[in-house]
Amino acid sequence: MHLQNMKIMSNSVFQILLLLVSITVQAAGAAPRLTRPNCAETCGNVTIPFPFGLGAGCFLDDWYEIVCQQNHTVPILNKIGLRVLNISLPTFRSDGDGMIKVSFPVIYSNASCQGHGLRELASLEESNFFFSQKWNVFTLVGCDTVATVTSKDSAGIVFTSAGCRSKCAGNNSNIRWSSACSGRDGCCQTTLPINLQAFSVDIKEEGGQQGCKYAFLAERSWFSKSDATGLYDLRVNVMVPVVLQWGIQNTTNDSFALRNESEGTDAVSCYTNKQPWECWCREGYSGNPYFIGGCQGVGAGVAALLLCLFLWRLYKYIKKRKEIKLKEKYFKRNGGLLLESELSSPQGNVEKSKLFNSKDLEKATDNFNEDRILGQGGQGTVYKGMLTDGKIVAIKKSKVIDEGKVEQFINEILILSQIKHRNVVKLLGCCLEIEVPLLVYEFIPNGTLYQYLHNPNEEFHVSWDTRLRIATEISGALFYLHSAASIPIYHRDIKSTNILLDEKYQAKVADFGTSKSVSLDQTHVTTLVQGTFGYLDPEYFQSSQFTDKSDVYSFGVVLVELLTSQKPISSLREQEGRSLAAYFIISMEQNHLFDIMDAQVLKEGKKEEIVSVANLAKRCLHLNGRSRPTMKEVAMELEGIRKLQNPSGIQQNQEDREATESYAAAFPSSKSNINMDVITFSDVQPLLPSETW
């Protein structure tokens, strides 16, 4: 709950921080507005800054009106009908004139050209637009030809302003593109007067050379960028880019730039000694100078972003420190310091255990996704996970443990980490740095014995040999826990759902969540009654004293399940026989044993084998614990029954030999000779169970 609250708080802080960042960036002018409010800023891929605009109320006057044609993709300067290629605002740099680039036609071509004739030119008179002298060049193409440019000044006086002559050394068909265009090879160039708003062109032939001859104005950079292979590729219907310089009149009432200048705004400067005015944002500012407050400080934006970055890093640092402190708190509360102390003790016989990182386990289980759940029970929930090294594991998320029982919990981890028996699920490690401890086990793929017996595959029948082998393996594991381990362990929750089956369907005893370790001189442990109805020792239920014989009783119920394939508790049986243990005992006393046996058992098992196992189960279920056999005796007897199936003793596999050696080990004198290979939590093997814990 603490971790969840911290995450909620962190998310709230994060949302607030994002809001502050957004407000700060907007306030700093990270993206200054270039148009009037509620006006479109682009047409196609062209940005339209004020005083230009799209739609009523968005432009300064008719000369600045842009219409967006061809499905809102092509901007047109409406007053003169030319397509707009680009619009730029003036800048504080010397070359930062306000410019608008438009598509302009080839001016003139003679009869030898396709589509010949004089093209009517757009006039810029009475506007604040001029043909840029700096960015445009006039070009004549044709052999032995002279072009004369006639223009008109602002007072309306007509005069000859410019011209150039082109010559050819040979046939004009050999004329090819030349960036120099020096007057030879049929091409010449010149500049036009400053502040030119209208002009006309007169072309005269000086020699006998015939061919297409034409003149045009174009942006200087277009010549170097064009991929044309020759000037004769141009025709009268071809459009070329031309740059117009623009400004605003100081008599315009709606000129925000003029107000800015007259009010002495530090962010804006204007050329006031010429017409039209050009205004720009001063160095250190950006935006649109034609708005009041349109120029915003660049430094303020950078400072705001740096502040946001600092706040973000500070938030991450504080969040990480809180997570570290909380992990330290949980680690200490869950007994991590005690575990580390025991592991580092020179007297300890436990190798270094694996302490897993909580983030690694969250990642392994997809943040404990419900789809990863293998089983649930009173002690916790088990998830299937994959570690970073690709190993599949089962991760048990325990319920919150009593702080008063932390020492006992850690002691059990230490004990279980020492268990190395082929029929006991391996504990690979733990994670103690979150609110509830996580235990990591090897993964056992084939589910539980309960599922195997009570939900069998229709095409797969549990043979008598398999049942007898599983019973022998379980009894061997319990004998090991009771008698051969360095410290005796009582499982306290033996049931078919806690018996897992590996890829070879070998039994694995699992779930030591309620297990107890006892000293050698102890005969029982006194606890609150815990267990599963149907498997619970009646004597333990009455006395609260759990002994090794209580595990024997629970195993007896599992043995009856193997014989009958019936569930430990069933409402389908008669009232007095809802408990499988009671039903079994009554059936034996009434000489109806074979009436309740599983059909597969009757079909494959020998009568004497079935009777021997049934009598053993009956002894395990004796109401008086002292009359029950020990797990050592149970294991030895089941092994003996299995040997009767193979009287010659030939072909006994390695696993059987290992089991025989384990079961026949002398107790207690042989303990010091037992090979107690300690399992280390770093020995990450395949992973854990599909079981209902």
> Residue 392 corresponds to which tokens in the numbers above?
């599949």
> What separation in angstroms does the CA of 415 have from each of 298, 485, 560?
66, 9, 30
Closest Cα partner for 691 from 489, 502, 479, 533?
502
Q: Is there a cis peptide before residue 668, judged by omega within 30 degrees of 0?
A: yes
CA distance 252 to 527: 96
DSSP character for 282? P
Q: Which residues contact 252 (CB under 8 A, 6 or more apart)?
A: 60, 61, 258
CA distance 361 to 387: 7
Three-class secondary structure assignment of 639-651 = HHHHHHCCCCCCC
What burial class does residue 16 get, using C-beta atoms within 10 Å of its C-beta: 0-12 exposed, 13-18 middle, 19+ buried? exposed
Q: Which residues contact 84 (CB under 8 A, 6 or more apart)?
A: 43, 46, 66, 75, 76, 77, 100, 101, 102
> Residue 82 corresponds to which tokens in the numbers above?
């030319």
CA distance 628 to 283: 97
CA distance 562 to 424: 19
CA distance 214 to 217: 11
CA distance 425 to 448: 12
Q: Is 380 left (phi over 0), alpha (psi -120 to 50) or beta?
A: left
Sign of CA dihedral 401, 404, 409, 414: positive
Three-class secondary structure assignment of 421-436 = CCCECCEEEEECCCCC
Q: Give the containing element (helix H, strand E) for 634.
A: helix 631-644
DSSP assignment of 49-91: -TTSEESTTSSSSGGGEEEEETTTTEEEETTTTEEEEEEE---
Q: How long, in residues, is the chain? A: 693
> Residue 68 corresponds to which tokens in the numbers above?
């967006």
CA distance 627 to 560: 18
Closest Cα partner for 383 from 370, 426, 450?
370
97, 185, 493, 598: the catalytic one is: 493
> What separation in angstroms does the CA of 192 have from each of 118, 197, 198, 235?
19, 11, 11, 22
Q: Is 493 a catalytic residue?
A: yes
Q: Which residues contact 420 (CB under 8 A, 6 or more apart)?
A: 426, 676, 677, 678, 679
Strand pairing class (65-69; 53-54): parallel
Helix (H, G, I), strand (E, B) or coil at 508: strand
> Residue 268 corresponds to which tokens in the numbers above?
């804006």
Residues labelled catalytic: 493
